[in-house]
Amino acid sequence: MNTESVAVTPEEHFQDKVNREVKIEPRDWMPEKYRQTLIRQISQHAHSEIVGMLPEGNWITRAPSLRRKATLIAKVQDEAGHGLYLYSAAETLGISRAEMIDQLHSGKAKYSSIFNYPTLNWADIGAIGWLVDGAAIMNQVPLCRTSYGPYARAMVRICKEESFHQRQGFEILLTLSKGTEAQRRMCQDAINRWWWPSIMMFGPSDDASPHTAQSMKWKIKRISNDELRQKFVDVIAEQVKILGMTLPDEALAWNEARGHYDFGTINWEEFWNVISGNGPCNRERIAARIAAHEEGAWVREAASAFAEKQRQRSGGKDEKAVA
C-alpha cells in the first residue's frame, strides 16, 4: 500500500498534476489565479475569432469568383465556430458568454490587435490566411497540450479545422503572384501591410511579457512568445520565395551561426497603441460587434419568450431544477 500521508496543500497537489501532464478538468480544484488567467486568455482568444470575422467578412460580397466566395464564407463561418468552442471552454470556468461579450464591448477585454488593421484589397484575404492564420496556428498548436482539459480539446478541434485556412490564403496569393502585373502589385502590397502586424501577433518579447513565467509553470502556455515568433519568421521567409514576393524588412537575413533568420526591430510603440485603441479600425470593429449584438437583442428575447410559452403549454413539465 502506498501511504504517502505527508500533508500536501491543494496548490501542491494541483501543481503536481500539472507537472505530470494530468489535465485539469472543470470540477477539479484549481488556484483562483489559474482560473482567472484561463478566463482572460480563452475569452481573449474567443473575442479574436469573432472580431476577426469582420475584416475578412468585408470581402465576402466582393469575392472575385464563386469558388472564392464559397470558401471565404466557409472560412469566416469557421471562425464563428471557433469563437463558439472557445466561449464554451471558458464557460466551464464559471463565466457566462454574456459576461464575456459585455467585457469585449466595454473594452475591458482585449482581442488580437491584428484585426484592427483594414482589409484594403482582395490580396489582403490571401495575406490574412497565410500570415495571420499562419501565426495563429503556430500559437495554437502548442495549446492543444495546454493543461486545462476543455481548452485543450477546443484547441484540438480548432487546429484541425484551421489547417485549410492557411492553405486557402496561400493559394489566393499564389494565384495572384502568377497573374497580371496589377495582381502582383496587389499581392505585394498586401504582404507589405500584413507582415509586421502578423509578427506582432506573438505578443511582446519575453522580457516584457508579464504573465509568461507563471503561465509556463501552469502549462497554460507551452512555448514563449519570442521562440514562436522566430519559428514563424523562419518558415515565412522561405515560403515567400515561392510567391516570388518579398517581406518588407531589410534586416531579414539568414544567420548561419544561429541557424535562424535575423529580422528587424518590431515597432512596439505601434503595437501598444493599436492594442490600446488607436489602431485604424478599433472603433469600427467594436461598433460592428455592438450593433450586431444590440440588433439581435429582440431576436434572442423573442426566442426565449416563445420557448417559455411552449414550456407552459406543455404543462410546465420541464420546470426549473429545485434551488
Complex with another protein: residue 61 or 265, whichever CB lies closer: 61
Select from 189-197, 231-239, 246-254, 286-294 the region that touches another protein (CB under 8 A): 286-294
Contacts of 127 (CB under 8 A, 6+ apart): 169, 173, 190, 191, 193, 194
Complex with another protein: residue 157 or 211, whichever CB lies closer: 157
Complex with another protein: residue 67 or 241, whichever CB lies closer: 67
In angstroms, the Cα distances linking 153 to 135, 140, 141, 282 are 20, 12, 12, 31
Cβ 186 to another protein shortest distance, Å: 9
Q: Which of 4, 21, 32, 256 binds another protein (CB under 8 A)?
A: 32
Per-residue cell: 29: 480544484
Cβ 66 to another protein shortest distance, Å: 5
Select from 37-45, 85-93, 137-145, 206-214 the region that touches another protein (CB under 8 A): 85-93
Complex with another protein: residue 276 or 310, whichever CB lies closer: 310
3-class secondary-structure state, position 262: strand
Positions 130 through 189 that interact with another protein (CB under 8 A): 153-154, 157, 161, 175, 178-180, 182-183
From the centroid of its chain, how far is CA 64? 27
Q: Enumerate long-range contacts of 266-274, CB under 8 Å, 24 or more apart.
A: 266/196, 266/199, 266/200, 266/205, 267/196, 268/204, 268/208, 270/196, 270/200, 271/113, 271/200, 271/204, 274/113, 274/116, 274/117, 274/197
| 78 sits near another protein (criterion: CB under 8 A) | yes
Give the CA count within 13 Å in the CB-facing half-sphere of 237.
Answer: 19
Task: Look up residue 130 and give its DSSP letter.
Answer: I
| 30 sits near another protein (criterion: CB under 8 A) | yes
Per-residue cell: 254: 539568414
Task: Look up residue 219 and give its DSSP letter.
Answer: T
| 297 sits near another protein (criterion: CB under 8 A) | yes
Complex with another protein: residue 26 or 204, whichever CB lies closer: 26
Positions 221 through 250 that interact with another protein (CB under 8 A): none
Cβ 151 to another protein shortest distance, Å: 12
| 118 sits near another protein (criterion: CB under 8 A) | no
Cβ 300 to another protein shortest distance, Å: 6
Cβ 301 to another protein shortest distance, Å: 5
Complex with another protein: residue 253 or 303, whichever CB lies closer: 303
| 50 sits near another protein (criterion: CB under 8 A) | yes
Per-residue cell: 210: 508579464
Q: Are 117 and 55 in contact (CB under 8 A)?
A: yes
